Amino acid sequence: MTSESFNASVQLTDRQVEAGRGDHVAITGPAGTLTYAQLAARVAELATGLRELGVRPEERVLLVMSDRPETVITILAVMRLGAIAVPVSTMYNGAELGDLVRDCRARLVVATPEFEPVVREAVAGAPEVTRLLLTGPDWDAVMAAGRPVAPPYGTWRDSPALWLYTSGTTGAPKAAMHRHGAISDVYETYGRQVLGIRPDDRCLSVARLFFAYGIGNSMFFPLAAGATAILDPARPTPAGVLARVARERPTLFFAGPTFFAALLATDAHAGAPDDAFASVRLAVSAGEALPAEIYRRFTGRFGVDIIDGLGSTEALHIFISNRPGQVRPGTSGTVVPGYEARLLDERGVPVETGRPGHLYVRGDSIATGYWCRTATTRQVFQGEWLRTGDTYVREEDGSYRCLGRSNDMIKAGGIWVSPMEVEARLLQHESVGECAVVAYLDGEGLEKPVACVVPAPGRTVDPQELITFCRDGLASFKRPREVLVLDELPKTATGKIQRVVVRRLAADRLDKD
């Protein structure tokens, strides 16, 4: 019994050319511009060249590449020939990267030249790697060897297409395995029905292509819709992104809460006038919950609506989201069409509306599991359901409000406290730029909420004033018992706050007092 042929690479490239959109710009930015016809041709040539190089169907090809046309071409070419694209973070050092190369058993590693030293260090300890291919003359030669092109490999919707490494819900990096069909699933659910992406849209994403969030924003959604992706290989900074917005005039802008906060901290003299996002019809936030206060400040200053949503690497993109024109600030919105969600208590029993529970989700884009992580796969992928590791409350209006990661909840005085609820209150104070609320174990082993605060530009923080401010706006037991002032909050490569590190910093500071 055979399944119907389906190849995500063909769907994202050839289909647009067949529809008469070959001359429309598919990719643009400082690293180059390609029409759909040019993109489809290069993808087919590189796929054939990689096959001639000895890359086999279902074999992993690891990519260490900045955001540029060559990266999109390589990912699509690998999928076209039936192999598995494994784009990984460009922020790893040689030892960290070497662990991933060995874990995925890649024989071919493709990289952009700026990462050559780190990649060579990584592959030196990975004996299965037989070839390092750098973009430039060698990459061009492989593409030239692919003429004339071969037809795409006969993959199915359930054929493996893409692995994305994530620390996800359980710590150490592991590869979430995704099917060809999942790529069209996230477009049909979130991209088409929530984002409403159109062929005339221009997409600019702060999240990079090696993240699930970024690859949807800059590749899956624009290419599936026949729109344009704006790629910038430079490390994202507020000044650099604002310059790119001014030059490229995107209509859809994607970032995370930390970056939206950084943009708010940038004044008009640094390139952030109030009309900086005049071309943008909609902004999207994901990665962690968007505080209501940051939403209000950003929309109030720049006049652009932000739809916050919840997704994960394991689900490939966003499965709970606010809707354009129907934003409920401080919530992740409602379930995206095509998905189902449920909240369960510690015993696995559904909780009532208004009560916190562990969030589970199911939908066709969910990964098939983690590569070579049987125990963890069984813990996270439970039948059709994905255990997200988040604690949520479902409100009466059907929206979902995040209380934080399940292991970040604080039990103060025997009552559960959501760090995000306290952080949302703190961010309403004019002196607070960023904050993180974590648990601190006192001398008696009891948990206390402690707030670590970064002052807003030009402001100073009065700890006692902030504690009183929280007590006035929240139930007394939720107030932080201490406020610590920091120059900056430690963050991951994706811009998420590293709460484990914040907890350690707070404990070190308080233990010395």
219-238 confidence digits (pLDDT tens): 999 999 999 999 999 999 99
- Please say if the pLDDT value at position 367 is more than 80: yes
Please choose, from the candidates 364, 392, 8, 341, the residue with its C-alpha nearest in 3D space to the C-alpha of residue 189: 364
- For 383-406, what is the mean pLDDT? 92
189-405: CATH, from 1.10.286.10, 3.40.50.12780, 3.40.718.10, 3.20.20.80:
3.40.50.12780
Task: Round to whole Å and give the CA distance between 309 and 320.
Answer: 6
CB atoms near residue 491 (< 10 Å) = 16
Ranges of each domain in the chain = 10-155, 189-405, 410-512
- Please say if the pLDDT value at position 341 is more than 50: yes
Domains 10-155 and 189-405 share a fold: yes
- For 188-201, what is the mean pLDDT? 98
10-155: CATH, from 3.30.200.20, 3.30.70.980, 3.40.50.980, 3.40.309.10:
3.40.50.980
Q: Regarding predicted confidence, which is higher, 271 or 309?
A: 309
- Please say if the pLDDT value at position 1 is more than 60: no
Q: Regarding predicted confidence, which is higher, 415 or 217?
A: 217
CATH superfamily of 410-512: ANL, C-terminal domain (3.30.300.30)
Whole-number Cα distances in Å, 196 to 200, 209, 219, 282? 11, 21, 15, 10
- For 253-265, what is the mean pLDDT? 91
CA 229 and chain centroid, separation: 16
Q: Regarding predicted confidence, which is higher, 26 or 491?
A: 26
The 10s digit of each residue's pLDDT in 437-468 is 999 987 766 778 999 999 999 999 999 999 99
With vertex at residue 406, the alpha carbon angle to CA 449 and CA 357, rounded to the nearest 5 degrees, is: 110
Which pLDDT value is given to residue 170? Answer: 45
Return the exposure string of 188-204: e unless at least 16 CB atoms fall within 10 Å of the residue's CB, then b: ebbbbebbebeeebbbb
478: CB partners within 8 A, 6+ apart? 412, 417, 421, 422, 449, 470
For the entire predicted model, the pTM comes to 0.87
Q: What is the mean pLDDT of the chain?
A: 93
- Please say if the pLDDT value at position 59 is more than 80: yes
In DSSP notation, 295-320 reads: HHHHHHHH---EEEEEE-GGGSSEEE
- Please say if the pLDDT value at position 2 is more than 60: no
Q: Where are the beta strands (DSSP E) in 222-335?
A: 228-230, 252-255, 282-285, 306-311, 318-321, 334-335
The 10s digit of each residue's pLDDT in 108-167 is 999 999 999 999 999 999 999 999 999 999 999 999 999 999 999 999 999 999 999 987
Window from 36-45, 444-453, 466-475 with minimum mean pLDDT: 444-453
pLDDT band at 3 (very low <50, low <70, confident <90, very high): confident
Which pLDDT value is given to residue 444? Answer: 66
Task: Round to whole Å and give the CA distance between 209 and 214.
Answer: 5
Task: Round to whole Å and give the CA distance between 269 and 273.
Answer: 8
pLDDT band at 267 (very low <50, low <70, confident <90, very high): confident
Which pLDDT value is given to residue 169? Answer: 44
- For 393-402, what is the mean pLDDT? 95
Task: Round to whole Å and give the CA distance between 53 and 58.
Answer: 15
- Please say if the pLDDT value at position 268 is more than 80: no
Which pLDDT value is given to residue 407? Answer: 78
CB 11 within 8 A of CB 187: no
- Please say if the pLDDT value at position 405 is more than 80: no
Three-state DSSP class for residue 452: strand
